């Protein structure tokens, strides 16, 4: 796995030096509101901080359940990004609304839509969901001459992440498709949906091979939440 990139981008102008402070992170720095006691900003910060603390174990459960499928990725600040999306509905309802994660990319620098160069479809039925991906020449971007094949994975996570031991995964994988001898067809991945309106989210992952080995660089992978549903 390559080492982390160094971010040498020029620091953007500070909105207000009295209110903002610079924070460095693994994906580059950003301006953040300072903590100021007794102000509306601090009250909001406290509310957000409480939500973040409550969500942290749930997001950790999601990450652990998906660990098997994200090993080839460089997810960066997934914990913080998920928390930012989930915190607002969580503060309003006290529930984990997975639908807000639709469109969530597991790699900031290498998003799925820059690797998968075709329009996939998601069809949701009463008891299953189907991913349909057209396959032909140029379906997946070939970054270099080392990669020989690609394949698709459908990963459906469901359950209540606020409860320990509640999460489960449905999984489907395609056969490998050759970059040089690609047949023109549609790849179809079907995954069973949970019963009783249990929350779920569906991820589509694209992976590339170098012969019989997995591709070495993270740019040969993409994973995204493409649909979500259910709810209490």
**What pLDDT, in 10s, does the model give residues 107-126?**
988 999 999 999 999 999 99
- Decide if pLDDT at 4 tops 50: no
pLDDT at res. 31: 76
Strand, helix or coil at 230?
Answer: coil
Strand, helix or coil at 100?
Answer: helix
Q: Containing H/E element for 61? A: helix 40-70
Query: What is the Cα–Cα distance from 90 to 229, expressed in whole angstroms?
Result: 16
Global confidence as pTM: 0.78
* Residue among 184, 72, 203, 205 at smallest CA distance from 138: 184
Domain ranges of the chain: 52-229
CB 103 within 8 A of CB 82: no
Q: Which residue has the tokens 């080492």?
A: 3
148-207, pLDDT tens digit by residue? 999 999 999 999 999 999 999 999 999 999 999 777 889 999 999 999 999 999 999 999
Please give the backbone phi and psi of residue 126, each rounded to the nearest 5 degrees, phi first. -65, -35
Q: How many CA atoms lie within 13 A of 27 on its CB side?
A: 13
pLDDT at res. 49: 55
pLDDT at res. 207: 98
53-109, pLDDT tens digit by residue? 778 899 999 999 999 999 999 988 888 889 889 988 888 888 888 999 999 999 988
């Amino acid at each position: 796995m390559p080492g982390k990139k160094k971010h040498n981008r020029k620091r953007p102008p500070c909105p207000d030096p009295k209110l903002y402070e610079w924070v460095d992170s693994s994906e580059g720095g950003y301006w953040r509101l300072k903590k100021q006691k007794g102000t509306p900003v601090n009250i909001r910060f406290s509310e957000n901080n409480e939500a973040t603390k409550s969500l942290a174990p749930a997001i950790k459960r999601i990450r652990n359940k998906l660990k098997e499928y994200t090993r080839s990725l460089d997810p960066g600040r997934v914990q913080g990004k998920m928390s930012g999306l989930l915190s607002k509905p969580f503060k309003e309802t006290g529930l984990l609304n997975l639908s807000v994660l639709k469109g969530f990319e597991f790699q900031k620098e290498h998003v799925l839509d820059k690797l998968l160069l075709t329009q996939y479809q998601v069809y949701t039925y009463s008891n299953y969901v189907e991913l349909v991906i057209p396959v032909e020449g140029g379906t997946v971007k070939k970054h270099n001459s080392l990669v020989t094949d690609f394949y698709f994975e459908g990963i459906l996570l469901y359950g209540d992440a606020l409860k320990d031991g509640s999460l489960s995964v449905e999984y489907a994988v395609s056969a490998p498709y050759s970059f040089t001898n690609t047949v023109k067809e549609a790849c179809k991945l079907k995954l069973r949906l949970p019963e009783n309106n249990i929350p779920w989210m569906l991820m589509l992952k694209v992976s590339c091979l170098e012969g019989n080995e997995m591709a070495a660089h993270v740019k040969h992978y993409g994973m995204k939440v493409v649909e979500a549903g259910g709810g209490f």
